[in-house]
């Protein structure tokens, strides 16, 4: 990442991924790097990537492992060329199939069943944040020795935060419930000081800031994408595990992200994630708006 501009790996790769999104050269390189490193390790029986339509089966000469890896190799890739923080998000499950190569069934598991999840941010420093169900731990890469060093053994997010993060250019496409919720976050209801807006356009970077400083990130479903844009299995679910383990919350606006039963590998979902009280506020406003609509 640090040498991307010198190695001619910035810019578009000239093709689209399964999501219909223009791939960047670094998207492709990151995807291949993770596949090669993990796929041949003997630890996993199947992988799934944002960049590939079908499950990825490890090489035939590698004994299938007992774990499953789902990953977004490079989140926030639209920021690559402008040197804004980007990252890798990952989710790990135990396999549920009895043996042999992994199956789609191994991949389509609830977020609640993850054994580990985390992300790496490539920014002013390279930071790894992960959880295996016993809290959230943060590490920073020391490039002089090539090792990640622990900097926070127990990351906790504030119950209520100072920031809200959302792409407000989509305002006209949101439901009335989301418009009202964001208006309250901005302080436009006159009941208190509003939160400060912070939006980078890189999910993992926006989430990381709010995890540490407190706040809420929203990516609603809207009239153009009713099911939302973010992917459940390798974006929303792993970050939801981190959020809950740090004392926060994650929801699709109605139910916890971790309780959603996935039906498709690249299933999308709305996402409201961050400080517990802020997520609860958004859920409450959406519920009130839904109840009001039912009465009409």
Say whether both 204 and 256 belong to one domain.
yes
* pLDDT single digits (tens) 243-296: 999 999 999 999 999 999 999 999 999 999 999 999 999 999 999 998 887 876
Q: Which two tokens stand for residue 268?
A: 């999308």
Are residue 143 and residue 185 in the same domain, yes or no? no
Task: Tell me how far apart the alpha carbons of residues 48 and 171 are, in angstroms, rounded to a whole number.
Answer: 32
CATH number at residue 39: 3.30.540.10
Q: For residue 234, is it within any domain? A: yes
Instruction: Please tell me the predicted confidence (pLDDT) of residue 7.
Output: 46
Give the number of domains in the chain: 2
pLDDT band at 204, cuts 50/70/90?
Answer: very high
Nearest Cα neighbor of 23 from 8, 38, 7, 12 is 12
- pLDDT, averaged across the chain: 92
> In this structure, what token pair is assigned to residue 16?
């689209």
- DSSP secondary-structure letter at 262? -
Joined together, the tokens standing for residue 171 give 């305002």
Q: Same structural domain for residues 200 and 289?
A: yes
Which residue has tokens 């060093």? 149
d(CA 189, CA 133): 38
Cβ pair 232, 240 in contact under 8 A: no
pLDDT of residue 193: 85
Decide which of 131, 152, 173 is a domain's last residue: 152
Same domain flag for 72 and 49: yes
Lookup result for tokens 């993770």 = 34
Same domain for 16 and 148: yes
Read off the pLDDT of residues 95-143 as tens digits, 9 standing for 90 and up: 999 999 999 999 999 999 999 999 999 998 999 999 999 999 999 999 9
- In whole angstroms, give the CA distance from residue 294 to residue 110: 30
* SS3 of residue 90 by DSSP: strand
pLDDT tens digits for 151-171?
A: 999 999 999 999 999 999 999
d(CA 5, CA 73): 19
What's the gap between Cα 154 and its chain centre? Answer: 20
For residue 128, list its beta bridge partners. Answer: 120, 139
Residues of the chain above pLDDT 70, percent: 92
Whether pLDDT at 16 is above 60: no
Estimate to the nearest angstrom the gap between the alpha carbon of 149 and the chain centroid: 23
Residue 250: strand pairing partners:
273
Cα–Cα distance for residue pair 131/60, rounded to 1 Å: 31
pLDDT confidence band for 189 (50 / 70 / 90): confident
- Domain-embedded: residue 4: no
- Look at residue 295 in the predicted model and tell me its pLDDT: 76
Strands 163-165 and 196-197: parallel
Q: How far apart are CA 269 and CA 114, in angstroms?
A: 18
CA distance 208 to 206: 6
Q: Are 26 and 146 in the same domain?
A: yes
Residue 26 has a pLDDT of: 87
Domain of residue 179, residue span:
163-295
Q: What predicted TM-score, i.e. pTM, was given to this entire model?
A: 0.92
Do 147 and 249 lie in a common domain? no
Band of residue 20 on the pLDDT scale cut at 50, 70, 90: low
DSSP string computed for 157-212: --SS-SEEE--GGGGGGS-HHHHHHHHHHTTTTSSSPPPEE---S-HHHHHHHHHH
């Amino acid at each position: 990442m640090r040498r991307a501009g010198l190695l001619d790996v910035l810019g578009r790769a000239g093709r689209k991924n399964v999501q219909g999104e223009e791939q960047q050269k670094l998207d492709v390189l990151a995807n291949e790097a993770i596949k090669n490193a993990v796929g041949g390790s003997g630890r996993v029986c199947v992988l799934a990537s944002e960049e590939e339509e079908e499950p990825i089966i490890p090489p035939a000469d590698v004994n299938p492992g007992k774990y499953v890896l789902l990953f977004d190799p490079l989140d926030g890739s639209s920021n690559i060329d402008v040197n804004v923080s980007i990252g890798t998000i990952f989710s790990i499950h135990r396999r549920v199939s009895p043996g042999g190569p992994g199956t789609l069934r191994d991949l389509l598991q609830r977020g609640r069943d993850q054994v580990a999840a985390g992300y790496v941010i490539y920014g002013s420093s390279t930071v790894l944040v992960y959880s295996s169900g016993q809290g959230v731990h943060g590490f920073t890469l020391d490039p002089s020795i090539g090792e990640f060093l622990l900097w926070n053994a127990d990351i906790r997010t504030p119950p209520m935060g100072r920031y809200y993060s959302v792409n407000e250019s989509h305002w006209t496409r949101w439901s009335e419930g989301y418009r009202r919720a964001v208006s309250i976050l901005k302080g436009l209801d006159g009941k208190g000081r509003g939160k400060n807006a912070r939006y980078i356009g890189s999910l993992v970077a926006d989430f990381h800031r709010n995890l540490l400083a407190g706040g809420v990130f929203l990516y609603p479903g809207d009239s153009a994408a009713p099911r939302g844009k973010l992917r459940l299995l390798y974006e929303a679910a792993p970050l939801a595990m981190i959020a809950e383990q740090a004392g926060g919350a994650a929801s699709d606006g109605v139910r916890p992200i971790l309780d959603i039963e996935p039906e498709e590998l690249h299933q999308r979902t709305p996402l409201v994630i961050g400080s517990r009280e802020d997520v609860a506020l958004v859920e409450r406003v959406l519920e009130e708006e839904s109840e009001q609509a039912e009465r009409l």
